[in-house]
């Protein structure tokens, strides 16, 4: 496994690669990320991981500052998954323009997450475009937990004629149903037990208003529980920690691509 920090160094390596699978992350890797990395390794000649905590997608500066940073463990997980290259750039290299140039989507980015986190998706799409331009992968792998983000990335690829196949893979969960998330590490034991109730209520068959009420009674701060594109999506807070989840409303979720 080769770790690269410089975009220029990566550009030279990229010239030698013809078929690659790419998993962009903000680090603090868990079993969900590992499932993406394992699939990228299996389905491509070369597997590539990026680790970059992207400042432009945080509308809350404190959220950015407390985002878990676990690079040594991340590299260990990547090596266990057989990753070939890990790209770990710094903020100055990724934003030489100081984020003056950004990508905006003016439709679905204004809903749900976008409504509650103004500017979030511009930051996401901007860094994804930068990484796609640098890495130039054959395929890129995204989890369905960030379902709205996944749809926006698919739209980005289509809108800008990018020759990249987007592979969507199911959310990985703990035995109690809690969707794996880097932010879970910020919860204590009692909060983790409480967090598992989110997926239980999403799967309960109750209407959105009832789910909102029951979660509120348990101590969640509910931002939204909404149906969208045949899924039920939710965003909640436990204290200062924000969690999202979603479930398919028709049939089982499965990997798909465009």
| DSSP secondary structure string for all residues of 137-156 | -SEEEEETTSHHHHHHHHHH
Question: In this structure, what token pair is assigned to residue 73?
Answer: 């463990």
Question: In this structure, what token pair is assigned to residue 240?
Answer: 């200062």
Catalytic one among 30, 33, 116, 120? 33
How many C-beta neighbours within 10 Å does residue 11 have?
A: 12
Residues in the chain: 258
How many C-beta neighbours within 10 Å does residue 229 have?
A: 12
Helix (H, G, I), strand (E, B), or coil: what is residue 221?
Answer: strand
Cα separation of 83 and 86, whole Å?
Answer: 7
DSSP 179: B
Q: Is 33 a catalytic residue?
A: yes
How many C-beta neighbours within 10 Å does residue 222 have?
A: 17
Could you tell me where the beta strands, DSSP code E, fall in the chain? 2-4, 20-25, 46-51, 85-87, 139-143, 165-169, 221-228, 231-238, 241-248, 256-257
Distant-in-sequence, close-in-space partners of 126: CB < 8 Å, separation ≥ 6 = 56, 99, 101, 102, 103
Helix (H, G, I), strand (E, B), or coil: what is residue 195?
Answer: helix
Instruction: Tell me which residues are annotated as active site.
Output: 33
């Amino acid at each position: 496994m080769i770790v690269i920090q410089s975009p220029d160094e990566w550009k030279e390596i990229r010239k030698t690669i013809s078929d690659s699978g790419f998993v962009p992350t903000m680090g603090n890797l868990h079993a969900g990320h590992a499932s993406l990395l394992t699939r990228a390794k299996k389905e491509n000649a070369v597997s590539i991981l990026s680790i970059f905590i992207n400042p432009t997608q945080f509308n809350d500066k404190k959220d950015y500052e407390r985002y878990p940073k676990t690079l040594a463990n991340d590299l260990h997980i990547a090596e266990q998954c057989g990753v070939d290259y890990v790209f770990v750039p710094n903020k100055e290299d990724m934003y030489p323009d100081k984020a003056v140039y950004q990508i905006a989507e003016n439709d679905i980015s204004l809903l749900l997450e976008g409504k509650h986190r103004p500017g979030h998706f511009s930051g996401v799409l901007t860094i994804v475009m930068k990484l796609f331009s640098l890495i130039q992968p054959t395929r890129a792998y995204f989890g369905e937990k960030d379902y709205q983000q996944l749809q926006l990335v698919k739209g980005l690829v289509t809108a800008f004629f990018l020759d990249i196949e987007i592979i969507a893979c199911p959310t990985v969960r703990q035995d109690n149903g809690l969707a794996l998330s880097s932010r879970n590490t910020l919860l204590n034991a009692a909060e983790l037990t409480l967090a598992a109730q989110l997926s239980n209520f999403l799967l309960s068959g109750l209407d959105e208003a009832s789910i909102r009420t029951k979660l509120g009674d348990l101590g969640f701060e509910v931002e939204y529980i909404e149906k969208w594109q045949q899924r039920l999506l939710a965003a909640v807070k436990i204290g200062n920690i924000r969690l999202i989840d979603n479930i398919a409303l028709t049939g089982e979720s499965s990997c798909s691509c465009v």
